[in-house]
Amino acid sequence: MTFNDIEIMFGGQAGDGSLTTGDLIAGVFKRMGLEVYTYKDFPSRIRGGHTNYVIRASEHRNYGMADFVDGLVAFDLEAVEAHITELRPGGFVVFDSTSETVPGPLRRPDVTWYDVPLAKIAKQDLGLELVRNTISLGVLAKLIGMDPAIVRNDVTGVYQRKGEKVVDLNVRAIEAGEAYVEKHYAEWPSGYGLKAREDGDRLLMMGNDAIAYGALVAGCRFMAGYPITPATDVLEWMAKYLPKFGGVAVQAEDELAAINMVLGAAFTGVRAMTATSGPGQALMTEAIGLAGVLEIPIVIVECARTGPSTGMPTKTEQSNLNHLIFSGHGEIPRVVLAPGTVEDSFYISARAFDIAEKYQCPVFVLTEQALCQSKATLPPLDAASVEIDRGKLVTGPVVFGDYRRFAFTEDGVSPRVIPGVEGGMHLAAGSEHDPEGVITENSLNRARMMEKRLGKLVSMREDLPEARVHGDPDAEIAIFGYGSNRGPIVEALERLERDGVAVRFFEFRTLWPFPEAGVADFVAGAKHVFVVENNYTGQLERLIRYVTGPLDYMHLVNKYDGKPFRPIEIIEAIERHALLRGPGERVAELVPLKAKRL
């Protein structure tokens, strides 16, 4: 039996309730004292189309999926067809055999099969086919040893608002699933077993919720946005909680309206933000340029998905980095921050508002679907540690006629007043202007204004979130990455180290202004450099090459199929390029990697 280390996938059709069941499972695992990570893979429509939900649980912190799926709960044949190759040897499948059968060629002999007529049991025994999801929960709980008391408590909590009859129906559904396993598969152990531990003081939170909470704690009191996957959760969270703290959340008619509302709110002194994805970001580009030239502090959350155009709206990708850094007509100071965990999403989101106000420029929080819509266990978030720095905001009277909103300063940041401050009247022109805001095309003024604004990228460096370096700082194998790739990279690093292979990992948390000195120092002494990213062209790798120049030993490890990395994919890339001394001879014995448990 393998204890407290499992990855479960629920597969079915969008709208059939499998995602709700996945959330239930994640909550049960968390309350059993396990560390949890979840990943949703769903189609871009409300009903119909294959969907799956991965829940990983173990005794050790993880921030991504495992190499393989241990158990698949398949509500239809399509789920088996789509994911049978992802199962670990020795894993198992729970299949709803009510109206379909799994053909012989798909029935891998190294996997245990549990054919359970979930829909039939639900309809005949309980009178409602909809509860087959809860029956599957009972089946799974019995097969892998989930705590029955916690399972019942969580199901009760989810359905309590619908009344006692609904609660009773779902509890009986759990019992029906458990009873079926007892009757038909008592002698067929799954090979997996869980043991409850102390839950402790922990949270189970989604990345988008952490971003929104960080913004709220940082003093954001206005958000405008237009619904767009995978960023909509931020708007929904803010709509629920902002009014309780004197704030306002607005669903605008489109992204153009949203970003201009944010500019207006920020101009009046309110900490303001929006959240969007690639297509919406494209529409906001001109207004972000206006924020740059008027030196208005705003925060834009970019929840990246696959492109181009509409692309695959519910899949993950890291192909918007160039857009955030370089998009726009003309040049403005901008900051791009990238959290790598749900926990860091809270702290980086909060910090973005300080940077925006202190340096009076747009700040992007770049995340992606594999992080922003995933859940993870984490320690309590320290809201008290968030300090608010409003920079050179002037709230008291100034001398009328002497105040210059865009005054030249050593650090490029000018004193800022908001409407209503006595003596603070000034012009705010989107065209080039002098220190008073008066429009001018004087070439000397233009040069000084450009140097003033872009000079902030230098003066702000000490305030930016620093990269985190993991592993052996002297290792000859070096890895670069950011965002949701942080998890699989760290896990790959730890496993390689256990096998005697030293690795170091540079986790970007600020992507612009690019940390050139840190990158140059990190590659020094490396014999192999790997850049892990989810796009086709290697956008991060190209930025790194601007610093390092061409390196024969730099390897791009990229993925652009809409799915996040698993650790094995990174390990195998390192094996191919760095761990072979000669034909068939390895630096360390790492075979058979695919058969290893974590």
- What DSSP string runs through 536-587? SS-HHHHHHHHHH---TTEEEEE--SS----HHHHHHHHHHHHSEEETTEES
Q: What is the mean pLDDT of residues 261-267?
A: 98
Instruction: Give 330's pLDDT tier (boundaries 50, 70, 90).
Output: very high
Looking at residue 386, what is its pLDDT?
A: 97
Helices (H), 160-228: 164-184, 207-217
Specify whether the CB–CB gap between 181 and 265 falls below 8 A.
no
Q: Is the pLDDT of residue 586 over 90?
A: no
Contacts of residue 191, Cβ cutoff 8 Å, sequence gap at least 6 = 1, 2, 90, 91, 92, 112
Average pLDDT score over residue span 410-425? 95
Spatial neighbors of 183 by CB under 8 A, at least 6 apart, are: none
Asked whether residue 496 falls in the same domain as residue 403, the answer is no
Statement to judge: residues 50 and 136 lie in one domain:
yes
Read off the pLDDT band of 17 (50, 70, 90).
Answer: confident
Of 142, 166, 193, the domain-final residue:
193
What separation, in Å, do the N-terminal and C-terminal C-alpha atoms of the chain show? 14
Inform me whether the pLDDT recorded for 355 exceeds 90.
yes
Tell me the mean pLDDT in the region 386-409: 95
Contact 441, 432 (CB under 8 A): yes
Domain check: are 520 and 549 in the same one? yes
210 falls within a domain: yes
> How far is 448 from 565, CA to CA, in rounded Å?
46
| Surface-to-core class of residue 48, CB atoms within 10 Å of its CB (0-12 exposed, 13-18 middle, 19+ buried) | exposed
What's the mean pLDDT in 229-235? Answer: 97
- State yes or no: pLDDT of 1 exceeds 70: no
Supply 356's token pair: 């925006």
pLDDT at residue number 42: 81
103 vs 486: CA distance, rounded Å = 39
3-class DSSP assignment, residue 315? coil
pLDDT, position 2: 63
Q: In this structure, is residue 590 part of a structural domain?
A: yes
* Higher per-residue confidence, 456 vs 17: 456
In the chain, % of residues over pLDDT 70 = 96
Q: Do the bridges between strand 362-368 and strand 192-193 make them parallel or antiparallel, or are there none, so unpaired?
A: unpaired
Strands 248-251 and 272-276 turn out to be unpaired
Per-residue model confidence (pLDDT) at position 584? 47
Q: Same structural domain for residues 254 and 349?
A: yes
Q: How far apart are CA 17 and CA 391, in angstroms?
A: 48
CA distance 492 to 1: 24
Interacting residues of 267 by C-beta distance below 8 A, sequence separation 6+: 294, 296, 418, 419, 428
117 and 238 share one domain: no
512 shares its domain with 485: yes
Cα separations (Å) of 446 from 404, 431, 569? Answer: 16, 11, 50
| Residue 21, pLDDT above cutoff 70 | yes
Residue 95's SS3 state is strand
pLDDT value of position 61? 84
pLDDT category, 587, cuts 50, 70, 90? very low
Task: Evaluate whether residue 120 is within a structural domain.
Answer: yes
Q: Cα–Cα distance between 94 and 71 in angstroms, integer?
A: 8
Is 199 within a domain?
no
CATH of residue 529: 3.40.50.920
CATH no. for residue 31?
3.40.920.10
Q: Is residue 107 part of a domain?
A: yes
- Does pLDDT of 592 surpass 70? no
300 with 248: CB under 8 angstroms?
Answer: no
**Which stretches within 185-252 are classed as H helix?**
207-217, 232-241
Per-residue pLDDT, averaged over 346-363, amounts to: 98
The domain containing residue 560 runs over which residues? 466-595
Query: What is the radius of gyration, based on Cα positions, of the chain?
Result: 26
Whether the Cβ atoms of residue 33 and residue 198 lie closer than 8 Å to each other: yes
Question: What angle in degrees, to the nearest 10, is found between the helix axes of 232-241 and 207-217?
Answer: 40
Domain contains 198: no
Q: What is the pLDDT of residues 133-161, one digit of tens each?
A: 999 999 999 999 999 999 999 999 999 99
In terms of Cα–Cα distance, which of 132, 170, 164 is closest to 151? 170
Among the candidates 353, 385, 417, a domain finishes at 385
Q: Does 578 lie in the same domain as 522?
A: yes
- Count structural domains, the chain: 4
Same structural domain, 335 and 451 = no
Tokens of 459: 């003066």
Final residue in a domain of this structure, among 367, 385, 403 = 385
How much is the average pLDDT of 171-185?
Answer: 97
Q: Which residues contact 492 (CB under 8 A, 6 or more apart)?
A: 503, 567, 568, 570, 571, 574
Domain membership of residue 258 (yes or no) is: yes
pLDDT of residue 43: 78
pLDDT classification of 597: cutoffs 50, 70, 90:
very low
Instruction: State whether 97 and 208 are in the same domain.
Output: no
Average pLDDT, the chain: 94
What is the SS3 assignment for 307?
Answer: coil
Q: How far apart are CA 496 and CA 358, in angstroms?
A: 42
Which has the minimum average pLDDT: 34-48, 66-80, 84-98, 377-391? Answer: 34-48
Which residue is associated with the tokens 């789920």?
Answer: 79
Same domain, 572 and 514: yes
Q: Render pLDDT for 380-392 as a digit per residue (tens, 0 to 9).
A: 999 999 999 999 9
DSSP string, 351-416: HHHHHHHHHTSEEEEEEEHHHHT-EEEEPPP-GGG-----TTB--S---TTT--TT---TTSPPPB
Q: Does residue 152 sit in the same domain as residue 215?
A: no
Q: How many CA atoms lie within 13 A of 476 on its CB side?
A: 8
> What does each C-alpha distance from 217 to 99, 257, 438, 524 come to in angstroms?
51, 25, 37, 39
Q: Check whether residue 334 and residue 381 sit in a common domain.
A: yes
